[in-house]
Amino acid sequence: MQARLGYLVSTSYQKTNSFFIKVEKTTRIVNLTNSGENNISGPSHEPKS
């Protein structure tokens, strides 16, 4: 039972970790895209949060 619990914890940790890595990459891409658009077309019409 202990080994099973450890397995579940480690897999859920890995899934969460890879999820956050994906989010971080996506955020970085979005930020690059936004700054690129801002450089081309001046101030963006979307409000910055």
pLDDT per residue of the chain (49 residues) written in tens, 0 to 9: 678 888 888 999 999 999 999 999 999 988 888 877 665 555 555 555 5
The pLDDT value given to residue 44: 55
Query: Amino acid letter at 19?
Result: F
- Answering whether pTM is above 0.75, one says no
Of 18, 22, 19, 49, whose CA–CA distance to 34 is shortest?
49
In whole angstroms, what is the distance from residue 27 CA to residue 10 CA?
A: 25
Position 28: which residue type? R
